[in-house]
Structure 1
Amino acid sequence: MGGSGSLNSLVTAAAAELMAATAANSAEISQRVLANLVDALGQDFGFLRHNDHTIRATVLIAEFPPRNADPDPIAVVYFADADSVFATAEHLKEPAVVRPRPENADYQQTIEEGTGFGSVSLAAVPLLSGEVTTGVLAFGKFGDREWVTDELDALQAIATLFAQLQARIAADTQVRWLAEHDEMTGLLNRRALIAQLGERLAQGMPGPVSIVFLEVERLRAINDVFGQDAGNRFLVTFSNVLRDGADFPAAIARFGGDEFVVAPHAPMDARDIFAWAQELHRHLRTQADIRSDLFGRAASIGVATGVPGKDSASMLLSRADLATQSAKNARGVTVVAYTPQMAAKNAIRDEIERRLEEPDAANDLVLHYLPEIDLRTGEVLGTEALMRWQHSALGLLMPDSFIDVAESMPLAEKLGRLVIRAACAEFAQWQAEGLVRNAVLRVNVSPVQLIAEGVVERIAATLSEFGIEAGALCLEITERVVVADIEATRKTLTDLKDIGVQVAVDDFGTGYSAFDYLTSLPIDALKIDRRFIRDLGRDSKNLAVVRSILGLAEAFGLDVVAEGVETPGDAQALLALGCKRAQGFLFSKPLPGAQMGLLFARRFVSTDFLND
């Protein structure tokens, strides 16, 4: 090699090449630079290797001339198993020169076997990033060769250029990775998933394209109780379990905070994706049993399919999301496949939400009333106010159609206040007309309504405004309300009791076992859920449940009302057990206010069928 001018030109030429390199062409350019250096320095070979300190190995990036070995025994060399030359590269900080060793003369054999460098003069310079050795640039010649300081300095300058290229590519790769992945779990992110689905749903692509949409259970509870770090660990664990459960090539993404999507790369029809989703759920449940400290119900799962050229990524994801919400809302169901009916129902929800946001939405509320009957005499003992919504386009809607929408906005507390006020106004009108004597008005209240600030004062003011005795109003709560916030519930119920309002537990026996709370909460009545009344005369299990509830009520001095009585046999069985109050279609369907007033005026319904 010539003097310093030639060496400077060599460095300049290498810099020009490497400065223009990108991740896509870096291997090609690196090999070209190596070829120029091998020729200019009069060497027989050269190579560039990067250190992977996570696995403690040196990885071949480029070499000249290429050996084209397949498989290449020195493509990846672990430092723990490497010979002295490769092992030195792990922490090399200064240029190093290896001269020939007479006792090992056959270089070709040793280089092919990856065991050493034999009779070679080798100059190696480190690629450095701060104090970390990120790789090595080396050149060798068969036989002996002396390396002068200027040459080693030039090689070190070129190695610095290679190190800068390595760092730039790593940074660019990290930026691209972060643009497409969730940093915490390492899964694809929302944007990358949508892009991939968009490509797969393009016209002419193979289909159908299927996805599994998962919503993780318990994340909010974990965050609230144990903190954000615990919630993050939970998500990482869940992500790893999800990867293990996907036993075929698939795009796996964290779609939102607690939402994940699995999209198989290969076409999969609705039946196959549903079957696999069930297998995935079983896998998650197995892990839930193993990792009981982290998992609960694991996840609600929805599946959907799309047709390339017809459906978009957003359409497919929306379908899967609707199916997941159906799974979440269906007790005991964990995997649900999308159906067109779900979209129709969701359109109704959107229309309801739009209307609920309008200031005059309360004008659409309508109350119907379900009479409460004395099974012994047929006397009308009271009535339960049932909320309906008379929608201009959708007709008369039942609470199931809009209550959950109202709670999500939230409007449930406002609707509850309107119902109590409207029911009390109508009840007061019946009283003024002399239609009501010693009857009870029952109104359902939601969890959010019961713990709202000032609820007791508002109810007291409403009773005073309409001149209704507090004992005539009975607020019905479900067991879900009882356990939603036990301390706030206890305080509210105690305050209601202090002003004379009655409290009943609705749907008793179906939810969270409120037996534990009967001793500490001021409850006046239990309402037996309709599922225990059905076929009461023939179902021994239901008979045992109802008998137990009646015994419990007697022990605590509580009234009991049976819901959903639809057959004379059920009514007769209730009477035989000692239950005296009931509601159900056997006696009357829910009635508009005017008809309920007329029924109060009649005072009795026929119970002749009980004597048949």
Structure 2
Amino acid sequence: MSDADAQQAPAAGNTQALSLELLLQNLPGAAYRCLNDGDWTMEFVSEGMEQLTGYPAAAFMARPGLSYASLILPEDRPLVERGIALALAEGRSFQLTYRIRCAEGHIKWVCEQGAASPQAGMRLLEGFLSDYTRLRNADMLVREQASYLQRARDAIVAMDMNSRITYWNNGAERLYGWSAHEARGKKFSELLCENLAAYHTAYETTLSSGEWSGELAHMRRDGVCIETDTRWTLLAPDDAFGSPQKILVISTDISERKHNEAKIYRLAFFDALTDLPNRASLLDHLRRALLGSARTRKCGALMFCDLDNFKYLNDSQGHAAGDMLLQAVARRLEHCVREADMVARLGGDEFVILIQPLEDTREGAAAQAETVAAKVVAAMAAPFQLAEMTYSVSVSVGVATMCGTVDTVESTLRQADAAMYQAKACGRNTYRFHDPAVQAAWSARAELENGLRRALRDNEFVLHYQPQLDRSNRVIGAEALLRWRLPDGKLLYPAEFIQNAEESGLIIDIGRWVLRTACTELARWQRFPDTAGLTLSVNVSAGQFTEPDFVPMLQQIFEQTGVQPSGLKLELTESLVVSDFTHTAHTMATLKRRGISFSLDDFGTGYSSLAYLRKLPLDQLKIDQSFMRDVLTDQNDASIVRSIIALGDSLGLQVIAEGVETPGQRQFLSDAGCFIYQGFLYQHALSSEHFTQYARSVH
């Protein structure tokens, strides 16, 4: 070694010693070397010992000096001794936490990390002591708070933003049935939520507002659905701990509360015997129905239904039989109403039906109520089986129409009750309307309907035929028009009865009669050379044309009458075409193959559309007489008529105008390109005999 190297070596050693001493002074704790003698007599301890214990480091290294073991709390010392002995026996380092009493008298938690000295074996220990008090207290606080979450009765669940469960407390395990181990990693939405729409609503609201609260139905592990009162809270990410954004869900089981609420509600608003809504419920629904009626201007009805001679059953057979009858009556009444309507029991043998305000007029509401009332009377006619006894009962029904703009709860109840007593006064087992005007209108409607049935039975209907002429004033066909000849000889036109026929469903039977009669007449024309080329147009109602058996029925008529279908033209309305286009087009195509032609009646008054004009197998457009009335004085009507004619020409469709009454109108049509006419200018509708004479005279 050179002299220079010899001089530098001690200097380097001093520098390293100074660096080590500086490091030991700045460590947050104390490095030590001690004897493994039970008192842990210190041979060396760094200056940090004073900050840790309050005693200077020199006090521990003096002879005799302060025993470090004496600072360890007596209850912790055996644990320390066993821990060190076990580590040394296993040839490994040790890490212990225990308490010491400092010079000032307060207690600190110490974390000691150490091992046997490599040079001295198990005789010497070397290690490091640090203050663990703050970390210990923080850890205890975390553990305490975690224990609170675990002991909470509520289900507490945390999930990430992909719905995956990251935390699941004991309350969640008790409520839902899955352990934390089973639940973690599963999707909250898939594990618990049957109603995914409600889950997504809660999720989106939490993201946008930071929280959501409400009631959710959750599925337990055993498949039982439970009601929960739930609060969702959005937890912001914690960058210090690397914690991502999550949602905290706290749920309380409210199934029992909801069950009790439902029981209380049923006790308050439902009749215990029949399970129907009771008086309180009826009054509430009636009040709300009238408020809604006042807003919408719609009309409904209230019906009082009272069992006839119910007291006799109670007196003769006992209240048990009476209760059975009331329960059976309740079920039959429920089958007489629409889903939106309501059946309630006022008490005793009084039942009430609320027909919701859905009709535009009182007459419409009365018509709906009459349908229900007739069902009720008919339903009660069948005998009731009460245990071993069969019992028959009838019912008296009072009907009051209602409109929220003029009627009140009290007036509606009073009127329906009065109408019910009127029904009883009329012999029971019937129904009556309270409103005199409605009652009169309904009686007239019922009388008209009965008259229509009689007309079918007694052959009171007749067909008249209005000629259709070409530009040469030659008769080329006719339209069959329905008339009703009353027994007193008076003749009624369709406007006076056809709507009633459609509403009652009688239009199907009437339409069948019209087609059979018209085909019989057309077949007669076809037997004579001078009328064989005539066509006959017949109006067909929407209800009749959409009947499943319409085509077979027509085929049967053709076979019975021997008519050639090529002479028959069916007139359809625009509303029929639009309401069920697919079915209408199919039926038309089927009949077209049999030689029947089609005319679109009243064209331009409804839902005129080029789409169906192109797709349907039409032969003719018919200009409605409402346009013809003012065609010479109203520019709009004139333009519409010209447009229809031009449209028909462009589509290759024949155009006929009805309601032609003056030479000026005919000239206007001729100038516009329409050359087939029907109207009073030529002839009114004629009887079969007179039409044949007229057709031959101008042929």
Q: Which has the larger radius of gyration?
A: 2
User: What's the TM-score, normalizing by structure 1?
Assistant: 0.47
User: What's the TM-score, normalizing by structure 2?
Assistant: 0.42
Query: Which of 1 and 2 has higher RCO (CA within 8 Å, sep 6+)?
Result: 1
